[in-house]
A and B are shown apart, each in its own frame.
Chain A
Amino acid sequence: MAGFKSTERYIASRDLEVAVNASVTLQRPLLVKGEPGTGKTVLAHEIAEALGYPLIEWHVKSTTKAQQGLYEYDAVSRLRDGQLGDERVHDIANYIVRGKLWEAFEADHPTVVLIDEVDKADIEFPNDLLLELDRMQFFVYETRKTIVAKHRPVVIITSNNEKELPDAFLRRCFFHYIRFPDRETMEKIVQAHYPDIKKDLAREAMNVFFQVREVPGLKKKPATSELLDWLKLLMVEDLPVEALRTNEKQLVIPPLHGALLKNEQDVHLFERLAFLARRG
């Protein structure tokens, strides 16, 4: 089986590679946590690409129920059809709407299923999926049929840590915590995304970026995705490198800071600090 490795576009650390390969080999879900913007969702795309499987994405919202991933019974249309005397009404299967997991289970080839931001949903959501993810099968009550996965899909689950996940759920998963990349890795990531970026621009931008991250009290520290967006902007605007150049002590507001600081309080804090730095 083809293993998962860092690709040209996605730099994965060794521990991430081991975790992914373990979950693929043992066919258990992989739970990925980490700071927002460290590439949790992108990981699933990369795994799908590396393994050559199609990706089925299930984005979880606060209103999402576990059942929706399996199937939904559209009772209202059936009632309406019943009143209108539609022929379809006699077969309940006509009103079963398939969910993402059903889709993955029924597929003729193995798939990668991404359950994105599982913590957004109700606390019961992961519990309701225990059996389904463990045995990769579920029972359709309405048609009295059991849907069994033809091929166990590779399941990637991401969480932003907004809720704690139940132990029983965790026990069935592999776990990986994506750490914020160090400078060396970050350089590789930038190189992977923008191979033709000017060396000095990348270096100066990185200086500014890590300086911004170190500012105490930021509500949302900029992460990898913010850096990449910002670099793109810098390249599009074609700013001279001098505009970024700072010395160690002095803090200046970086150009196009809107891509790095996503919160007006953070911008404000930064302005105040920069002002103090200039005065002192």
Chain B
Amino acid sequence: MFAHLIQGLRGAGLPTSITEWLALMAGMKAGIAEYSIEDFYYLSRATLVKDERHLDKFDRVFAQCFKGLEPPEGMKPEELPEEWLLKLAEKLLTPEEMKKIEALGGFDAIMKRLKELLEEQKERHQGGSKWIGTAGTSPFGAYGYNPEGVRIGQDKSRNRSAVKVWDKREFKDLDDTVELGTRGMKLALRRLRRFARQGAATELDLPNTIKSTANNAGMLDLKLVPERHNTVKVLLFLDIGGSMDDYVKLTEELFSAARSEFKHLEYYYFHNCPYERVWKNNRRRHEEVIPTWQVLRTYGPDYKLIFVGDGAMSPYEITMPGGSVEHWNEESGTVWMERLTGHYRRSAWLNPTPKQGWGHTRSIALLNDLMEGRMFPLTVNGIDDMTRELSR
């Protein structure tokens, strides 16, 4: 039953399993949803979705699977206030058509035509009286207009019907492939926490205690082992200025998220590609430069190195000595990248530009090669993958 729902969900990338599917079936059998489509929606949502990031995807798939299940509960077109229709007319009809209609009998005729259009749409598409033309199914499309976003809505409390609940897509903000707020960042960065046994002694080490008690001729000798502590050390290299200006905000979000996450967090700025010098304070980038060698000496290979940058530059800035746009660099970016990634056991590059475009920019492809494919998009998913890679 409803197998196309689970197929649709899995197709949309939701990790829905058979277990959950069977749970939904059991719930249906137990009569939790009874005969209400709305309750069925709630029940299937509670069973099949386990993460608020997926709620929006679920709503979309659900709407697709059960389109046309609910009778339309919108306003009848004839009940629409005239002003709305007038506004629509302005938007929808070309001047020529307006003239034609005017010749036919003025605005009354326009309204009549619009009502016909609305009527027609209602027959074809559910809830059509609420939204006009959110998709290609709108009959308006055939006339060559783009009425997207024109809302002939009704009073909020009137559209409480079930279809509207998922059509509202209230969880859009929580989808993880698009939005990346500080919260989402934090979530993903927490993966970086690796629990290593270092720190203060707090836990009783039972086998060792028994052993040393026995050695102690039966006198109790307690042994303790260190409690787990978060010991992840992170070294951030942030691209600043130039082509990164668009991404400064995103980078800052990552930065602020990262900052509260690690005890050992060091950050340095570079421009486009790291060379022999980096800096800590962007305002004084020319006075207070720090040799990259010093960074390499100061922070051991156990630090996890994360570059953040869009990697968009001329390929020469990476491959050639003297390629930097800011100064004369004795050694090429390739040399420095190899030095950095060679020194640190775990490193990754986060790229705020969409992944689809990476192949088209030569410098990004170059950097990705230098990173041995460890370049990740700056989305929650990307950070997730990155942290998994880093904590391996």
Contacts and interface: CB of A to CB of B under 8 A. Distances in A.
A173 B23 CA distance: 10
Interface stretch (A42-50, A72-80, A103-111, A249-257): A72-80
Contacts of B50: 31, 165, 167, 170-171, 173, 175
B32 A22 contact: yes
Interface in A132-146: none
A212 B320 CA distance: 54
Contacts of B55: 177
Contacts of A40: none
B353 interface: no
A164 interface: yes
Given A25-B30, A175-B50, A14 B190 contact: no
A83 B171 contact: no
Interface string B3-31: 00000000000010101100100110010
Contacts of A14: 38-39, 42
Interface stretch (B78-86, B99-107, B212-220, B371-379): B212-220
A33 interface: yes
Contacts of B186: 162
Contact of A25 (B20, B32, B52): B32
Contacts of A75: 204, 206, 209
A80 B26 CA distance: 52
A22 B30 CA distance: 9
A122 interface: yes
B30 A19 contact: no
Contacts of B26: 26
Contact of B218 (A21, A33, A83, A161): A83
A15 interface: yes
Interface string A149-164: 0000000000001111
B195 to A, nearest CB: 7
A174 B46 contact: yes
Contacts of A28: 23
A179 B172 CA distance: 12
A66 B171 CA distance: 32
A188 interface: no
A80 B220 CA distance: 7
B46 A19 contact: yes
A114 to B, nearest CB: 18
Given A15-B46, A171-B17, A177 B52 contact: yes
Nearest to B24: A22
A22 B55 CA distance: 18
A176 interface: yes
B327 to A, nearest CB: 37
B276 interface: no
A63 interface: yes
B220 A79 contact: yes
A15 to B, nearest CB: 4
B47 interface: yes
B316 to A, nearest CB: 41
B104 to A, nearest CB: 45
A19 B40 CA distance: 10
A18 B39 contact: yes
A172 interface: yes
A83 B219 CA distance: 7
8 contacts: A15-B45, A22-B43, A26-B30, A75-B204, A83-B218, A164-B191, A173-B50, A175-B51
Interface of B: 15, 17, 19-20, 23, 26-27, 30, 32-33, 38-39, 42-43, 45-47, 49-52, 55, 170-171, 174, 183, 186-187, 190-191, 193, 195, 204, 206, 209, 213, 218-220, 222, 227-228
Interface of A: 14-15, 18-19, 21-23, 25-26, 28, 30-31, 33, 63, 75-76, 79-80, 83, 122-123, 161-165, 167, 170-177, 179
Given A22-B46, A162-B186, A175-B51, 10 more contacts: A14-B38, A14-B42, A18-B39, A25-B32, A26-B26, A75-B204, A164-B191, A170-B50, A175-B47, A175-B49
Q: Which 7 A-B pairs rank lowest in CB-CB distance, beginning with the nearest? A: A170-B50, A19-B46, A18-B42, A15-B42, A177-B52, A174-B46, A175-B50
